[in-house]
Each structure stands twice: as structure tokens, then as C-alpha cells.
């Protein structure tokens, strides 16, 4: 993640925060073991993400019910609901008619004491595959503490962050600290695939004045993230016996689809380089847009000229490149147009141009670094000796869905994201979160939930105070 330029001004502080911060810190220090146990319990649920609509559910329902009981005990009204096929808002983000059998969503709400701004904690319970499991030092679904770290699949991404948020709201209940605005909690499925769970929650009425997603960030505050476009390009060939000369394709001769993919690869690489160098591709917090072939499949038999070759593409783009709806229609068109033009000198490819199909689209999002929510989180982290910088996320999170499609400005702040060598710990064998990061995340979230909103002029004005509509399942 890329840090924002340094700020000249110190965030406004409020005298009453020091006492509240001390009480929260002392309470959570005493409950650090409970935080580890809760995160370990969540890790034990196998909630490996599906990669296709028809894949059977795993332990998602049991995990959500476990969380529901914790939140009810903390004073929340909780609804665990299963979206029906067709309930999702119509967007390019998910396939039409996607079902959720065995994959419920959780929405909870605890009323505030007045008319203050509402705050939502959102997190995904799904995790990426733990394969290759034989590479792990310990069972990825049986959390283990070693050397001040909690190891297990989801320890940082993001069951550790969810556990920290649960302990944060339990702490507020235990200490009698009630925010002025409503406090909402939303745990979802499918973030690691296409964000369908948060999209379904938005469609079901989840909304707040601001949201924090405790994704792994090293306790920095993610205010910007790129959009993602996933697709496939297929190059057609013509089969024939590979041990015979192919002949002239204009007269029915064979054509090797794998070899015809080479100029398409070159065109994609040239487009990526040109796109990244354009003035509109510079961003203070985010890497430039990119276009990466990630998998390739070609051929039918080892002695046959391949009849087709397909490549999967991972396209990342900046908020400025999104269309009016927040998606990538212009980028799709540009990729198709420029690649076909680049290979038009090849007679076969001119007559049989590459075919593009597009699937997952995840919108980019950005909040100004001086947004009031950012100030609240920066102050809260500083109360526990942590420096939280506004940063950019090269990939994507559910915060973008909340911001772009849910009417809820959202950022991310959570535990360990990087190893000491600077590499990511999420999605890796022996994924871990530092115990100190989990505890400080819980403290910062709890304090941010009860901290007063910065005064007008300290950042972008928050939305007028509102609570989740009665129709929301929370």
C-alpha cells in the first residue's frame, strides 16, 4: 500500500478522549486472551470461498450463527438472512441469479443514544484456499500462537479483524460507552470472489454514515483502492496433424492457436506499458493501472495443431478510469479495440479477431484523506501509540461496494498486512497476524466508535445523521 503525502497539521484532539481511551485500553488488555480465542474459533470454521455459483457451502452458516450469538449478547438486534437469487442489485459485479444457499449474511444494529452519525463495521468471513496444506507448519484451520503471532487461514484476512471488531463492541457494552449514533455490524460471504455478500447486504438495506472494514492494513487507513476487471481472451486456430506441414490457412490449412496468441500477448503488454505511462494514470496513493495475463489454456491433443488458446486477464484500474456507474465499460472497449488493431496486420487474426469475454467487475473507490472518518481513526490509533497513515490499496475490498453502491463512505483499518521483509502475509502459507496488531485494532475501533466527529472544517462534512432504514435486516 502506498502512503499519502505527509500532513502538515496534527489531527484535532478532544480532552475527553484520553480518559475513554485509557478505559478501553485497560479493558482490552485484560481481555487479550479472549480476543485470541475468538479469532481462533472463527478460523476453525472452514469458510473457503467458492469460485463458481454451484459450489456447495461449507461452514458459513455455523460461523454466522456463532457471531450472531456474540453480537446479541453485546446488545445488538441481529438478523442472519439468506439472499434469494435475484435479490442482488443489477451490476456487472456478480453473475445474474446468483444463489446463497448455505451462505447467509449477518446484519446487526445497536441504537445510539442520540442523533449522532451511524457507524458500520463490515467484514468478510470467507477465506482463500489453504492449499498447499502440506506447506503449513500447523493446521491452517487450527489456529496456533507462536512468537507473538496468531497463525491460521484468515488470521489477518480477515477473521482476526472481525474478532477485533467484535471485541471492540463488546468492550463498549461492558464499559457502558454508547455512541451517539447507531452502531451496525455486517459480516458477509464471497468477498474473495466477487463481493456478493456485501452487495446483497446493500440491496437489503445496510447503510450508515460511515463504515470501517478491518481488513489487514498494518493499522494504516486505506482511503483509495483500484477497481478490478476479470476476463478471458480467446484466439481461434484450426486443427490439423502437427506432424504434417500446416499448409496455407487461406485454403483450409491448419493454424496453431498457441502461436497466434503470441502477438496478442505482445499487444496486451504494449497496452499495459502505454496505459501506465499516461498522465491520467498517475495517482498519489495507488499504483498505475495494469493488465496482466494470469492463466493460459490451449490445445486438444499433443500431436494436433491447437484449435484454440485462451488467456485469463486481471485488469486493475484507477477510480478516475471508472464509468459513470463506477465500472469498467470504457476500459473493456479500449482493450478490445486496441488489441484487435495491434494484430490486424496478421491475416488470420484480422479474419478471426481475438474474442473477449468479461466476467467479474469490482468498482474502485476513494475518499479524501481529510474525510472526518479518517481523522477519527488516525486519532484513535494514535491514542495507543500507533501511527495510522492514509494509504492506497492496490487491490480491492468490500469498502468499495459500500462507498460506490451503498451510500456509505468506507475505509479499511485492521491488523497485520506485511511481514518484516515487506511482503504480504495475507493469502500465504503460514498466514499470521501479530497479536499486538489485533489488540491495537480492537482498541482503535472501539475508541473510533465513541469518539466525537471532528468539527466542521476538520475534514469533509459527514452525511446528516441517519440510522439504517427499518427495512434493513439489522
**Residue range 399-412: average pLDDT?**
96
pLDDT at 453: 57
d(CA 335, CA 272) in angstroms, rounded, equals: 10
Which residue's entry shows cell 467458492?
Answer: 50
Q: Would the pLDDT of 143 be above 90?
A: yes
Residue 399 pLDDT level (bands cut at 50, 70, 90): very high
Question: Mind listing the pLDDT tens digit for each residue in 246-273?
Answer: 999 999 999 999 999 999 999 999 999 9
pLDDT at 212: 98
Question: Mind listing the pLDDT tens digit for each residue in 231-251?
Answer: 999 999 999 999 999 999 999
Q: What percent of the chain has pLDDT over 90?
A: 88
Please state, in angstroms and as integers, the Cα–Cα distance from residue 194 to each residue in 16, 158, 190, 279, following that order: 42, 16, 6, 30
Residue 90 pLDDT level (bands cut at 50, 70, 90): confident
Our answer to whether residue 126 is catalytic in this structure is: yes
- Domains of the chain by range and CATH? 2-225+364-450 (3.40.630.10), 227-362 (3.30.70.360)
Our answer to whether residue 312 is catalytic in this structure is: no
Q: What percent of the chain has pLDDT over 70?
A: 92
- Residue 95 is classified by DSSP as -
Rg from Cα positions in the chain? 24
Residue 6 pLDDT level (bands cut at 50, 70, 90): very low
Kindly state the cell numbers that stand for 73: 449478547
**Residue range 288-295: average pLDDT?**
97
Q: Are strands 390-393 and 355-362 parallel, antiparallel or unpaired?
A: unpaired
Question: Mind listing the pLDDT tens digit for each residue in 324-346?
Answer: 989 999 999 999 999 999 999 99
Q: Would the pLDDT of 16 be above 80?
A: no
Tell me which of 17, 60, 126, 218 is the catalytic residue: 126
Verdict on whether the full-model pTM lies above 0.95: no
Q: Are strands 119-124 and 144-146 parallel, antiparallel or unpaired?
A: unpaired
pLDDT at 17: 78
Residue 463 pLDDT level (bands cut at 50, 70, 90): very low
Mean of per-residue pLDDT scores for the chain: 92
Residue 351 pLDDT level (bands cut at 50, 70, 90): very high
d(CA 245, CA 248) in angstroms, rounded, equals: 9
Which residue's entry shows cell 501511527?
Answer: 387
Question: Mind listing the pLDDT tens digit for each residue in 212-225?
Answer: 999 999 999 999 99
pLDDT at 366: 97
Tell me which of 17, 60, 144, 191 is the catalytic residue: 191
pLDDT at 113: 92
> What residues does 232 pair with on adjacent strands?
312, 357
- Are 211 and 409 in contact, with CB atoms under 8 Å apart? yes
- Are 467 and 111 in contact, with CB atoms under 8 Å apart? yes
Preceding omega of 132 cis (within 30 degrees of 0): yes
Amino acid at each position: 500500500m502506498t502512503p499519502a503525502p505527509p500532513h502538515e497539521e496534527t489531527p484535532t484532539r478532544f480532552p475527553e478522549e484520553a480518559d475513554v481511551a485509557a478505559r478501553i485500553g485497560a479493558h482490552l488488555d485484560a481481555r487479550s486472551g479472549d480476543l485470541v480465542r475468538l479469532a481462533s474459533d472463527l478460523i476453525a470454521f472452514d469458510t473457503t470461498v467458492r469460485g463458481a455459483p454451484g459450489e456447495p457451502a461449507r461452514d458459513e452458516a455455523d460461523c454466522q450463527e456463532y457471531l450472531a450469538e456474540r453480537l446479541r449478547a453485546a446488545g445488538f438486534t441481529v438478523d442472519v438472512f439468506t439472499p434469494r437469487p435475484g435479490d442482488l442489485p443489477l451490476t456487472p459485479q456478480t453473475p445474474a441469479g446468483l444463489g446463497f444457499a448455505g451462505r447467509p449474511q449477518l446484519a446487526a444494529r445497536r441504537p445510539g443514544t442520540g442523533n449522532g452519525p451511524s457507524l458500520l463495521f463490515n467484514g468478510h468471513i470467507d477465506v482463500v484456499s489453504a492449499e498447499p496444506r502440506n506447506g503449513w507448519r500447523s493446521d491452517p484451520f487450527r489456529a496456533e500462537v507462536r512468537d507473538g503471532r496468531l497463525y491460521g487461514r484468515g488470521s489477518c484476512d480477515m477473521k482476526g479483524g472481525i474478532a477485533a471488531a467484535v471485541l471492540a463492541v463488546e468492550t463498549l457494552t461492558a464499559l457502558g460507552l454508547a455512541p451517539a449514533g447507531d452502531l451496525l455490524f455486517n459480516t458477509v460471504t464471497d468477498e474473495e470472489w466477487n463481493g456478493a455478500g456485501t452487495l446483497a447486504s446493500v440491496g437489503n438495506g445496510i447503510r450508515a454514515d460511515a463504515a470501517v472494514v478491518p481488513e489487514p492494513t498494518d493499522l494504516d487507513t486505506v482511503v483509495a483502492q483500484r477497481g478490478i476487471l476479470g476476463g478471458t481472451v480467446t484466439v481461434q486456430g484450426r486443427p490439423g496433424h502437427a506432424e504434417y506441414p500446416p499448409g496455407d490457412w487461406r485454403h483450409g490449412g491448419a493454424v496453431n492457436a498457441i502461436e497466434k496468441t503470441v502477438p496478442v500477448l505482445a499487444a496486451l503488454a504494449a497496452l499495459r506499458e502505454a496505459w501506465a505511462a499516461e498522465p491520467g494514470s498517475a495517482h498519489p496513493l495507488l499504483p498505475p493501472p495494469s493488465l496482466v495475463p494470469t492463466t493460459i489454456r490451449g490445445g486438444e491433443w499433443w500431436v494436433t495443431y491447437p484449435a484454440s488458446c485462451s488467456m485469463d486477464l486481471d485488469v486493475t484500474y484507477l477510480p478516475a478510469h471508472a464509468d459513470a456507474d463506477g465500472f469498467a465499460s470504457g476500459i473493456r472497449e479500449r482493450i478490445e479495440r486496441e488489441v484487435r488493431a495491434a494484430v490486424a496486420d496478421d491475416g488470420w487474426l484480422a479474419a478471426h479477431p481475438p474474442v473477449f469475454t468479461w466476467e467479474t467487475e469490482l468498482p474502485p473507490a476513494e475518499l479524501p484523506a481529510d474525510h472526518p472518518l479518517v481523522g477519527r481513526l488516525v486519532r484513535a490509533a494514535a491514542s495507543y501509540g500507533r501511527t495510522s497513515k492514509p494509504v492506497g490499496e492496490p487491490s480491492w475490498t468490500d469498502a468499495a461496494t459500500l462507498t460506490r453502491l451503498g451510500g456509505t463512505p468506507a475505509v479499511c483499518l485492521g491488523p497485520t498486512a506485511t511481514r518484516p521483509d515487506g511482503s504480504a502475509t495475507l493469502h500465504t502459507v503460514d498466514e499470521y497476524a501479530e497479536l499486538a496488531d489485533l489488540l491495537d485494532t480492537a482498541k482503535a475501533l472501539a475508541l473510533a466508535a465513541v469518539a466525537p466527529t471532528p468539527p466542521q472544517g476538520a475534514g469533509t462534512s459527514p452525511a446528516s445523521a441517519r440510522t439504517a432504514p427499518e427495512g434493513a435486516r439489522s
